[in-house]
Structure 1
Amino acid sequence: MHPARSVILFTSLSGIGFGFLIWLGLGIPKAVGGVGAVYYALAFALTVGGLIASTFHLGNPQRAWRAFSQWRTSWLSREAVLAVLALAIMALHGAAAVLLGYQPAFLGLLGAALCLATVLATAMIYTQLKTVPRWNQPSTPILFALLSLAGGALLAGRMDPALWLLIAAGAVQLWAWLQGDKAFAENATTLATATRIGEEVRAFEPPHTGGNYLMREMVFQVGRKHALKLRAIAFALMIALPVLIILVNDKHLMVGIAVLLHFAGVLVARWLFFAEAEHVVGLYYGRAQTPLSSE
């Protein structure tokens, strides 16, 4: 699928922002007074910045409020409702920490749970899509949650949990790539199964002579060599280098560098998350025959 910059920023920024809020909600670190103001401001800036970025992918951003209306059936609506609830609770939690000098445990636990639920709801927007086999896997929500918690732990300066969360996220990311590469073939969707005409069916001509929305948004291919190179870069930045920094030198400056490297890696991995996803509609254009283009 076509990797939209707004959605990449949305999932990356909100993921690490909600992850940071989860740790703050758990009282880790103890952030009160002026220090708390800086911590909560950073967490809200990342989270709200990501949510704002998501509106730029809408055809009519002024109608974004309608996303709240279908929460019974839509993971997008559930994400929107959960995000507002999570931010409202964490705003109260942050106000108490900054103004009153303590972090209310009940509000913190409730806010942390809502933040994690929001991250999982975001992941489920993609996981539920059976038309995109690479996303329709258990690894998708697990990876979203682990990366959110790992990024949040780095921002919170908690190196021990960050180390293990990064290692776990790295293992799940490798699993997601290996699982995703064979997902389209194992899905067994072909022109024959889609049209129910027969095993020998093939497209006589392309459905359109020019470009259209489906081809722009749903049919995108990244070359195999290019994808593998980007995977190596993403893994090194997102997992390997931050883990190495934590093991060798966990001083404040190096932790800051680890955060930046990790976030850069998440951006690359999210670009691949969308670029490598094969929508079954590509079969009608002869574009989704293999998991990765051989170009």
Structure 2
Amino acid sequence: MHPAPSVIIFSSLSGAGFGLLFFLGFGFPTVTGWVAFVFYLIAYALAVGGLMSALFHLGNKKNAVKSYSQWRTSWLSREAWCAVAALLVMGLHAALQVFFGTTVAPLGWIGAILSLATVFTTSMIYAQLKTIPRWNQPATPAFFLAASLAGGALLSGNVDAALILMVVLGAITAWHWIKGDRRFAEAGSTIETATRLQGRVSLWEKPHTGENYLTHEMVYQIGRKHAAKLRVIALALMVVIPVAVLLIFGPHHMPAIVAVLSHLAGVLVQRWLFFAEAEHVVGLYYGAHGAKRAG
């Protein structure tokens, strides 16, 4: 699929923001006053900023409010409700810590669970789509959750947890790629199933002489060589460099900043690949997915 910058920024930054809220909700670290204010400011800037960037992907911005009406059947609607609930609960938790120096543990726990639930609902928007086999697998929500927790651990200064979670994130990311490379074939979608025609079917002529919405959004393809290079870059930035920096230089301010920036850059690269490598079954109608491009 065509990688939309707004969705990439949304899923990457909001995930890190809600990950930080998760750790703050459980008291890691336990902070009050201005220190708490800074932590919550970073968390809300990432979470809310990421959510706001998603609005740019809507053709009609006024329709955003309608996303709250379909919570029984839509993961997008559930994401919207979870996000609002998490931000409200954690906002109250933050106010008590910043202005009154008081921590109400059960309130923080509820906010933390809602924060992680928001990330899960975001992941299920993609994982539920049978029309995109690469996403339709358990590794998709696992990756979103691992990335959120790893980013949250880094931002909250929980170095030991961050080191473990980043290694876990790297393993889940590799699992997602390996499994994802086989998912389209495993799903059994072919040009024959797409056209409902019997026997051996081949494309004689493309349905359109020019690009349309479907070919622009759903039939984006990236060469194998470029994808392989970007996978290495993503893992290096997202996992290897942050882990190495923290292990060598320790949890000091500058190394921690370098680790956070490198990690977020790696997540952005991985999310770009997440969309660029996703093969929508509609591409079969346009002659895509017959063979992988060499680069």
Q: State the TM-score bracket (shorter-chain normalisation).
A: over 0.9
How far does residue 208 in structure 1 lie from its aligned partner after superposition?
A: 1.7
How far does residue 102 in structure 1 lie from its aligned partner after superposition?
A: 2.1
Contact (CA 8 Å) 1:37, 1:94: kept in 2 or not? yes
How far does residue 261 in structure 1 lie from its aligned partner after superposition?
A: 0.2
**Distance in 2 (alpha carbons) for counterparts of 1:176 and 1:119:** 17
Counterpart position of 2:244: 244
Counterpart position of 2:97: 97
Q: Deviations over 1:149-194 (max 9, x none)?
A: 0000000000111011001010010111111111111212012122
**Distance in 2 (alpha carbons) for counterparts of 1:62 and 1:197:** 41
Counterpart position of 2:271: 270
Counterpart position of 1:81: 81
**What percent identity do the matched residue pairs reach?**
57
**Distance in 2 (alpha carbons) for counterparts of 1:293 and 1:203:** 17
Counterpart position of 1:226: 226
How far does residue 89 in structure 1 lie from its aligned partner after superposition?
A: 0.4
Q: Deviations over 1:21-72 (max 9, x none)?
A: 0000011111210111111011001000000000000010122101111110
Counterpart position of 2:122: 122
Contact (CA 8 Å) 1:131, 1:280: kept in 2 or not? yes
Secondary structure of 1:102's aligned partner: coil
Contact (CA 8 Å) 2:26, 2:108: kept in 1 or not? yes
Counterpart position of 1:24: 24
Secondary structure of 2:17's aligned partner: helix
Counterpart position of 2:54: 54
Contact (CA 8 Å) 2:127, 2:138: kept in 1 or not? yes
Contact (CA 8 Å) 1:9, 1:53: kept in 2 or not? yes
How far does residue 204 in structure 1 lie from its aligned partner after superposition?
A: 3.1
**Distance in 2 (alpha carbons) for counterparts of 1:176 and 1:102:** 42
Counterpart position of 1:170: 170
Unaligned runs of 5+ in 1: none
Q: Deviations over 1:189-208 (max 9, x none)?
A: 01212233213123332122
CA-based RMSD of the aligned residues comes to 0.9
Counterpart position of 1:184: 184
Q: Deviations over 1:246-275 (max 9, x none)?
A: 221222210111000000000000000000
**Distance in 1 (alpha carbons) for counterparts of 2:193 and 2:219:** 19
Counterpart position of 2:212: 212
Secondary structure of 1:56's aligned partner: helix
Aligned residue identity for 1:142: A
Unaligned runs of 5+ in 2: none
Counterpart position of 1:284: 285
Secondary structure of 1:182's aligned partner: helix
Aligned residue identity for 2:198: G
Secondary structure of 2:57's aligned partner: coil
**Distance in 2 (alpha carbons) for counterparts of 1:54 and 1:289:** 32
How far does residue 294 in structure 1 lie from its aligned partner after superposition?
A: 1.3
**Distance in 1 (alpha carbons) for counterparts of 2:279 and 2:16:** 26
Contact (CA 8 Å) 1:127, 1:137: kept in 2 or not? yes
Aligned residue identity for 1:242: P
Aligned residue identity for 2:19: G
Contact (CA 8 Å) 2:194, 2:284: kept in 1 or not? no
How far does residue 91 in structure 1 lie from its aligned partner after superposition?
A: 0.3
Q: TM-score, normalised by structure 1?
A: 0.98
Aligned residue identity for 2:180: G
Answering whether residue 110 of structure 2 is matched by residue 110 of structure 1, we say: yes
Q: TM-score, normalised by structure 2?
A: 0.98
Structural mapping, 1:66-77, within 5 Å: 66-77=66-77
Contact (CA 8 Å) 1:279, 1:288: kept in 2 or not? no
